[in-house]
Homo-oligomer: A and B are copies of this chain.
Amino acid sequence: MPNLNSSSAYELRQAIRSGKFSGHTSGAGAFVQGNLVILPKAWADDFLLYCQRNPKPCPLLAVGDPGRPVIESLGRDVDVRTDLPGYRVWRDGVLVDEVAEVASLWRADLVSFVIGCSFSFEQALMDAGIELRHVSQKRNVAMYRSSLATTPAGRFSGPTVVSMRPLRAADAIRAVQITSRYVENHGAPVHIGDPGLIGIQDLQRPHYGDAVEVRSDELPVFWACGVTPQAALAHAKPEFCITHRPGAMLVTDRLNHQMASF
């Protein structure tokens, strides 16, 4: 198993491709990671428009050409069929398989979408000395289907899924500043404070991920989340779709520090 801190992203992808690494990619801190969605061309145009109209939950890092699984703009020899530690296969909106690679499922009409992920800004927050509870407690971040509707496009629509991190006020203010710089990785929060105002009834019952405590001197801070397109896909039910296995992202050659504006 490669050391995620000292390996290059290329070495890590090669280890994944050869089956030597199949774990979570959350430790590959310096590199930009992406959510993966692969759709047939007949669904891809609607999905592209959906992402364009909803850049905070669905910031596009790259879109592949139909039938072409290699995306050079994201790094050396990146092949979305083999370079992620795990994949989910969906048919008609139903999860039918979880596999280690999707080369055998590849088709000439498939289009790959790589969507920015909060790992980039989380690294920046931690670099700034801000404690992230779910990281400290080795849990997945808590995510919720909010009442903030996405802008529909063709067959795609649905709620904005938000991730929540509890922060003291001074850290919440600093987190707005820091994450505002990461426009391609969900950017600034979409909500701070009362969860009920965005349709979340119980913070202790997230729709995805794990609950974490919000202490009395903390505010819940909510960001648009890359799980939003999964909710839209579940609703649209395309005949065929491949996504990454949760936590098993595409690790690109780009550095998080390169993503920050100003």
CB-CB under 8 A from A173, the residues of chain B are: 176, 188-192
CB distance from A188 to the nearest CB of B (A): 5
Q: Which residues of B contact A172 (CB under 8 A)?
A: 192
Say yes or no: B170 contacts A190, CB within 8 Å: yes
13 contacts between A and B (CB under 8 A): A169-B191, A169-B197, A173-B176, A173-B188, A173-B189, A173-B192, A176-B176, A177-B177, A177-B188, A192-B219, A193-B193, A193-B219, A197-B217
Residues in A lying within 8 Å of B, measured CB to CB: 169-170, 172-173, 176-177, 180, 188-194, 197, 217, 219, 262
Top 6 A-B pairs ranked by shortest CB distance? A176-B176, A262-B262, A169-B192, A169-B191, A193-B219, A177-B180
Q: Which of B176, B191, B217 meets A177, CB within 8 Å? A: B176
Chain A interface mostly: mixed
CB closest chain-B residue, reference A168: B197
Distance in angstroms from A205 CB to nearest chain B CB is: 21
CA of A92 to CA of B173 in the docked complex: distance in angstroms? Answer: 39
How many copies of this chain does one complex carry?
2
Q: How distant is the Cα of A150 from the Cα of B217 in the complex, in angstroms? A: 21
Q: A176: which B residues are within 8 A, CB to CB?
A: 173, 176-177, 188
Minimum CB–CB distance for A231 against chain B, Å: 21
Known contacts A170-B190, A173-B176; 9 additional CB pairs below 8 A are A169-B191, A169-B192, A169-B194, A172-B192, A177-B177, A192-B192, A192-B193, A197-B217, A262-B262
User: How far, in angstroms, from A169 to B176 measured CA to CA in the complex?
Assistant: 12
What separation, in Å, do the CA atoms of A172 and B170 have in the docked complex? 13
Asked if A194 and B177 sit within 8 Å, CB to CB, the answer is: no
CB of A217 within 8 A of CB of B192, answer no
Complexed CA–CA distance, A194 and B170 (Å):
12
A59–B119 Cα distance when bound, in Å, is 35
- A192 CA to B175 CA, complexed, in Å: 12
- Please, which residues of chain B bring their CB within 8 A of the CB of A177? 176-177, 180, 188
Residues of B within 8 A of A192 (CB): 169, 172-173, 192-193, 219
Q: A203: shortest Cβ distance to chain B, in Å?
A: 15
Bound state CA distance, A172 and B193, in angstroms? Answer: 10
CA distance A194 to B169 in the complex (A): 9
Complex formed: what's the CA distance from A180 to B180 in Å? 11
| Complex CA distance for A188 and B170, rounded to whole angstroms | 10
Q: How long is the Cα–Cα vector from A262 to B190 in the complex, in angstroms?
A: 22
